Amino acid sequence: MDRRISGSTQLLGLIGDPVAHSLSPAMHNAALAAMGEDYCYVPFPVAAERLAVAVAGLAAIGVRGFNVTIPHKQAILPLLSQVEARAAAVGAVNTVYALPEGGWGGTNTDIDGFVQPLLGLEKGIPTLILGSGGAARAAIQGCLELGLGPVRVAGRSPEKLRALQQTWPQVETLSWAELDRHLAETRLLVNTTPVGMHKPGSLAELSPLSWEQLRLLPAGATVYDLVYVPDPTPLLRMAAELGHTPIGGLEMLIHQGAKALSLWLGGKLVPVEVMRQAARQQLAQIGDPNS
C-alpha cells in the first residue's frame, strides 16, 4: 500500500532513550498500512529529564497513544490519569492511550506479549524465572494470570527479590546458588536477564545456565528466552539440542505491539503475521537492536 501523510493522519508513537534501534515503527507502520488505517507511528527520543514536558506535548498535539520503553516505564506512572491494576502491580507501563475525558491511561501489554506463546501450556506447571528486574515482573504477572505454578524467581539482588515477594507473596524467591535444586521439576524456564544478548561488549556467546544445568530439566520442558538477538540465543540453541521446546523473545515483542495497536484502534483485529514479517525484516537490516 502507498502510504501518504494527509491533513487527517493521526499520530501514534514510541518514547524512550534511545529509540533509534526499535523494531516498533516498522511493525506498527506495516500493520497500519495493511489495515488501511490513516495513522503514522513515529519514534520520539525523550531524555529522562524531559519526560513530563514530552508527555504533555504529545497530549497537546493530539497523539492518540504511544509506547514507552527504557528508561521511562516506571517514571511515567505519576504522569498518567489512570493506570490499570496489572500495570500498577508490575510497577511499569509500556502502553499509553488517550482518555475520552482528557489525560492519559496506562497499561502493560508486555504481559500480554509474554503470555501469548504460552497459551497452550497446561495450568499448574512448575515455573522458574531467571532474573529479578522489570522484565521479570511482567513475566511473574503473566505466569500467575495463566495459572502456572509454583512460580519461583532466581536472582542475584536480595533487595529486588524482597521487593518481588512483597508484590507477589505467593512467589518463591531464590538466590542464584539455590536454583539448581529446583531445575529437575521445572517445566517452564524463563530467562529475563540480558545474558546471551548480541551487543558490543559481549555476553552474546553466554547462557544464563550451563549445559549441566539444562540437562537437569525434565524431558520436553519449555525454555523461553526474552532475549531475541541473536535468534536463537545460546540458551535456546542448547535447549533445542537437549530436546526441550524453545521460545524466542521476538514473539513477546510482536504480541505486545499487536495488543497495543488493537487497543489504540478500538479493539480492531491486527495482522500479527504482517508485524512479524516486518520485525524480522528490520532485524535482518539492523542486526543489533535492544528494545
1 occurs within a structural domain: no
CA 173/CA 55 separation, integer angstroms:
36
Do 86 and 195 belong to one domain?
no
Q: Give pLDDT, residue 200.
A: 42
Do 267 and 218 belong to one domain?
no
Q: What is the mean pLDDT of residues 11-27?
A: 95
CATH number at residue 103: 3.40.50.10860
Q: What is the domain count for the chain?
A: 2
Q: What is the mean pLDDT of residues 10-28?
A: 95
Q: Which three cell numbers stand for residue 288?
A: 543489533
Cis check for the bond before 150: say yes or no (omega within 30 of 0): yes
Q: Tell me: pLDDT of 102 over 90.
A: yes
Scan for cell 537490516, then name that residue: 285
Do 119 and 155 belong to one domain?
yes
Do 163 and 40 belong to one domain?
no
Q: Residue 229, SS3? A: coil
Do 119 and 224 belong to one domain?
yes
Q: Tell me: pLDDT of 286 over 80.
A: no
Long-range contacts of 30-36 (CB under 8 A, 24+ apart): 30/274, 30/275, 30/277, 30/278, 31/258, 31/261, 31/270, 31/271, 31/274, 31/275, 31/278, 32/261, 33/1, 33/3, 34/1, 34/271, 34/274, 35/265, 35/268, 35/270, 35/271, 36/1
Burial of residue 59 (CB within 10 Å: 0-12, 13-18, 19+) is middle
Do 139 and 160 belong to one domain?
yes
Q: Tell me: pLDDT of 96 over 50.
A: yes
Domain ranges, residue 89: 10-107+251-286
Q: Give pLDDT, residue 288.
A: 47
What are the pLDDT digits (tens) for 222-257? 999 999 888 899 999 999 999 999 999 999 999 999
273 occurs within a structural domain: yes
Q: How confident is the model at residue 291 (pLDDT cuts 50, 70, 90)?
A: very low
Q: Give pLDDT, residue 245.
A: 98
Do 25 and 119 belong to one domain?
no
256 occurs within a structural domain: yes
CA 178/CA 160 separation, integer angstroms:
16
Q: Give pLDDT, residue 246.
A: 98
Q: Give pLDDT, residue 290.
A: 44
Q: Tell me: pLDDT of 203 over 50.
A: no
Do 237 and 122 belong to one domain?
yes
Do 204 and 240 belong to one domain?
yes
The catalytic residues are 73
Q: Give pLDDT, residue 204.
A: 44
Sheet holding 39-45, edge to edge: 39-45, 10-16, 65-68, 95-98, 104-107, 82-83
Give the single-character DSSP code of 266: T
Do 84 and 39 belong to one domain?
yes
Q: Give pLDDT, residue 21.
A: 87
What are the pLDDT digits (tens) for 106-137? 999 999 999 999 999 999 999 999 999 889 99
Do 57 and 143 belong to one domain?
no
4 occurs within a structural domain: no
Q: Give pLDDT, residue 134.
A: 87
291 occurs within a structural domain: no
221 occurs within a structural domain: yes
Q: What is the mean pLDDT of residues 64-76?
A: 95
Q: What is the mean pLDDT of residues 8-25?
A: 95
Q: Give pLDDT, residue 199.
A: 52
Of 84 and 4, more confident: 84
176 occurs within a structural domain: yes
Q: What is the mean pLDDT of residues 48-60?
A: 98
Max Cα distance, the chain (Å)? 61
CA 42/CA 28 separation, integer angstroms:
9
CA 119/CA 101 separation, integer angstroms:
35
* Mean of per-residue pLDDT scores for the chain: 93
What are the pLDDT digits (tens) for 139-181? 999 999 999 999 999 999 999 999 999 999 999 999 999 999 9
Q: Give pLDDT, residue 201.
A: 44
Q: Give pLDDT, residue 2.
A: 55
Q: What is the mean pLDDT of residues 79-90?
A: 97
Q: Tell me: pLDDT of 198 over 60.
A: no
Q: Give pLDDT, residue 228.
A: 86
Q: Residue 10, SS3? A: strand
Identify the H or E element spanning 163.
Answer: helix 158-167
122 occurs within a structural domain: yes
- Known binding-site positions for NADP(+): 131-135, 226, 249
